Amino acid sequence: MPYQITQDCIGCTLCAKNCPVGAISGAVKQVHTIDPVRCTQCGVCGRVCPRGAIEGPLPGLRSQKVPKEQWLKPHIDTGLCTACSMCVLACGFHCLSISLPKEKGDLEVFAQLSEPDKCVGCGLCAKACGIGAITMEGGDAV
């Protein structure tokens, strides 16, 4: 089931700002809504909501705020990564990029988390990778 926002929402817009696919809409200080078709069930909204006002992925399961330093981050296995950029395309916040060649003619380039501060830990990059070269690690969030 896609995530939903309960009446406890205070309209702080944090969830909308952090949603990696732009699935959340709503005005400041008003109850926000999640587009069920767009929602990828990444759970980012629940981790940022100060009021625990996000319900999902199971009915009745209320979210809990998780401090940012505990969010999962993508780890890229450079032994597998081919710099195909599927993850770069999938990321909604431009956190990932392809590394630059170390010297002229260097073909060994990989995806890298170049903007870790912008990463919301949604895991869309890991899902997009066709060869499972990205794992979400770190933190202790569920």
Partner 1 sequence: MILPVYAQVDLTNGRWRKCTISARLFEQYLGGKALGARLLTDLTPAGLDPLSPEAVLIVNTGPMNDTGAPSSSRFNMTFKNVLTGGIASSNCGGPFGMLLKKAGFDGIILCGKAPELSMVVVEDGKIRIEACPQLQGLDTERTQEELPERYGKLVIGPAGENGVRFACAASGERVAGRCGAGAVMGSKNLKAVIAFGTREVVKADPEGFEAHTRKWVKLLKKHPMTGDSLPRYGSAGLVSKANASGVLPTRNFTRGRYEHYEDVSGETLADTRLTRNSGCVSCPIRCERRVKVGGKEVKGPEYETLGLFGPNVENNDLDLINELNYKCDLLGMDTISLAGTIAFAMELQKKGMGDFGLKPDQPEDLLRVVEDVAYGRGPAGELGAGSKILSQKYGGADFAIHAKGLELASYEPRKSVGMGLGYATANRGGCHLNGGYLALLESVGVISMDAQTPKGKPELTVFFQNGMEAASAAGFCLFTMQAMIPGILFHFGPASFACRAAGKGMLAARPLLGQIWKVMPWAMPINCMLVPHSKSIALATGLPMTIGKFFTVGERSYNVERLYNLREGLTAADDALPGRLTKTPQDPDRPDTVVPLDQMLPVYYKVRGWDANGVPTAKRLKHLGIPLPKEG
For binding to partner 1 (CB under 8 A), which residues are involved? Answer: 21-23, 35, 37-40, 80, 82-86, 88-89, 92, 98, 100-101, 105, 107, 109, 127-132
Question: In angstroms, what is the minimal distance from the CB of 106 to partner 1?
Answer: 9
- Cβ nearer to partner 1, comparing 58 with 100: 100
Is the CB of residue 55 less than 8 Å from the CB of residue 63? yes
Which pairs from 107-113 meet CB under 8 Å and 24+ separation?
109/83, 110/76, 110/78, 110/81, 110/83, 111/76, 111/81, 111/83, 111/85, 111/87, 112/76, 113/73, 113/74, 113/76
| Residue 54 C-beta: closest distance to partner 1, Å | 17
Q: How far is the CB of 80 from partner 1 (least distance, A)?
A: 7
Q: Which is nearer to partner 1, 67 or 130 (CB)?
A: 130
